[in-house]
Amino acid sequence: MTVTATETAIDALEARIDIPAVTDALLGTWAGVRREAREMIKDPAFWRIEGQPIAEHRQRALEQTHLLVQHGASARANPVEYGGGDNQGGNLAGFEELVVADPSLQIKSGVQWGLFGSAILQLGTKPHHDEWLRDAAEMRLPGAFAMTETGHGSDVQSIATTATYDPDAQEFVIDTPFRGAWKDYLGNAGQHATAATVFAQLITNGVNYGVHCFFVPIRDESGEFLPGVGGEDDGPKGGLNGVDNGRLHFDGVRVPRANLLNRYGDVAADGTYSSPIASPGRRFFTMLGALVQGRVSLDGAATWGSALAMTIAVTYGNQRRQFDNGSGETYLLDYGRHQRRLMPRLATVYAQAFAHDELLQKFDAVFSGAADTDDNRQDLETLAAALKPLSTWNALDIVQEAREACGGAGFLAENRLTGLRSDLDVYVTFEGDNNVLLQLVGKRLLADYAKQFSGPPADVAKAVAGQTAGRIYHAAGLRRLGQAFTDLGSTARSVELGLRAEQQHDLLAGRVEQMIADVAAALRPASKLPPAEGAALFNQHQNDLLAAARAHGELLQWEAFTDAIERIDDADTRTVLTWLRDLFGLGLIEEHLEWHLIAGRLSTQRAAAVSSYIDRLCARLRNHAQDLVDAFAYEPEHVRAPIASGAERERQEEAARHYADLAASGRAPKKEPKPKK
């Protein structure tokens, strides 16, 4: 019989995790909503059918959105007066769980309620809510979110669609003046949407007041485009083919003045523009910030999709045997390389889950109004821009490695990993290209760094002195020299003792601080250069800035993991999770060992031992791997991968019985004798 990880932990007298407690920690603040959503999607009506033709998949996804309405899962974020629950964080938590049912359903519902409906709610005012919010929530008004253009994706400020006000008719005239201005890649636009929230340059009285959002009907009841509206289907995609992505264009389409979603900018009957936010730049970023939930939810969905992949791969690795070691075939997860492939990635999923819950708390605090300040909104936007790139990039790496770790079985569609990899692919580029998002984070870090030097002279002097002292300290190799002296004994043991939580944090945080300081120093001349030369200088250091922003996001994940451990009461569980956190932290340090060596943060002896200690951690955690993925709390109806269903264990047991019976019968053939030398 296959030995499970739980049993081997007992046999080795090792600490074991309290699985229900870890599940509660992973599910986070809105665990109740997550469990409710998981119970709902046990219904096969929500499941993706592998290999389903595109037209059927689209129809199925549409029908599934109506099922969500029936289950009360479509309006959690809406105000109570519109049939909602005013539950901002819970709304996203429930939405994220749909990724294990069918990512196409998740994204289609996200377009309908997280983008189209949210634009009405967040950018509109009460008349708009009264007219459209309930219908959107209950799928009587399927919609598209028409922001991205063929010619402009992440650069929303430069979109070319115009909405020109006609004071005589009191209407806005929507136009896409050239092909590159077509709205593109829009979920629901290819087939099902009857209206769209269209982002366009608002022009009135000859003045362009920048990007605003308009409610624009696009199809009639029979599904035909309305006069002046045109479009086409985007066709098959690399994934998410249950979502009907399409293109839209407008030729003199007129909508009433009241169709301007006017929370942040309005136009009077005579064409006079007004806004509660005087600064055009601040107004633009405030409007976009009102829609940050897309990035927040993608961070969570990518994380839970990765958790599903880890559940499949670890479970299979705990049951599949390969190659005889002299006492029978070996479990895949007993091989050091297999542990190295899966355990660090499992640690990453844990770090992401804990960091995501903190992001979700910040989102809820802002959007519920409990802590809706400009500073908190900026922090939320920066946090979402830091975490979404990491989790979506990591998802592709994690799912692909899980697929490879399952061999040919992982390539079968029935085991879900190939479909999951395809569907998650686009997460890295929608709701903001990851590199663009990290640039936003980097600029915020530079701004915060500059604030150190904008206070009273005494404080500035102190900050400069501290920075200089830090550079001298590390550049002289003093810390490295001290480490080398300490490491004369057992280097591996010194790593274990010397790179615990405090030292990991020092290395991870110190790298962020140093990288930002170096970029800031390099960009300091830009303020005195002509714009073009300043932009060229920035471009020279863009990669360094993005690397610093990524390191900042990784530090946030490590800190969230550490905070989560401190909230665990059970001592054995804390021990195992600390090993897992150390694996995550040391993995980040190993990835950038060259930087730590050059900067003098690590001795060569200790740097050389980091990888071997990671191997030791992987081996130490091997006996807990099944417990750690079981804590994700996915049930068979969620996993739906035959290789993680126990079928492999049954095959292994059948094979063992066959050979045992054959040996007992005396009919087993003898092995070919070795040739004589």
Q: What is the pLDDT of residues 88-100, one digit of tens each?
A: 999 999 999 999 9
Q: What are phi and psi of 267, to 5 degrees?
A: -125, 125
Structure confidence by residue, pLDDT tens digits, 360-370: 999 999 999 99
- How high is the mean pLDDT of the chain? 91
Q: What are phi and psi of 605, to 5 degrees?
A: -65, -45
Percent of the chain with pLDDT over 70: 91
* Structural domains of the chain sorted by starting position, each given as residue range(s) with its CATH number in brackets: 146-281 (2.40.110.10), 436-623 (1.20.140.10)
Among 29-43, 70-84, 482-496, 633-647, where is mean pLDDT lowest?
A: 482-496
d(CA 584, CA 344): 6
Whether the Cβ atoms of residue 254 and residue 171 lie closer than 8 Å to each other: yes
Q: In the prediction, which pLDDT does 458 show? A: 54
327 residue type, one letter: S
Structure confidence by residue, pLDDT tens digits, 48-81: 999 999 999 999 999 999 999 999 999 999 999 9
**DSSP assignment letter at 402:** H
- Catalytically active residues, by annotation: 431
Name residue 207's beta-bridge partners: 204
The residue with greater pLDDT, 449 or 207, is: 207
Structure confidence by residue, pLDDT tens digits, 381-399: 999 999 999 999 999 999 9
User: Strand 162-166 vs strand 195-204: parallel, antiparallel, or unpaired?
Assistant: parallel
Looking at the predicted structure, is the pLDDT value of residue 457 above 50? yes
Looking at the predicted structure, is the pLDDT value of residue 464 above 80? no
| Run of H or E residues at 236 | none
**How many Cα atoms occupy the beta-carbon half-sphere of 501 within 13 Å?**
14
Q: In the prediction, which pLDDT does 455 show? A: 62
449's tokens: 């760094």
pLDDT band at 456 (very low <50, low <70, confident <90, very high): low
Q: How far is CA 561 from the centre of its chain?
A: 16
**How many Cα atoms occupy the beta-carbon half-sphere of 519 within 13 Å?**
27
Whether the Cβ atoms of residue 17 and residue 576 lie closer than 8 Å to each other: yes
181's tokens: 């201005």
What Å distances lie between residue 458 and 447, 463, 672, CA to CA?
A: 20, 9, 85
Name residue 254's beta-bridge partners: 173
pTM for the full predicted model:
0.92
The residue with greater pLDDT, 628 or 653, is: 628
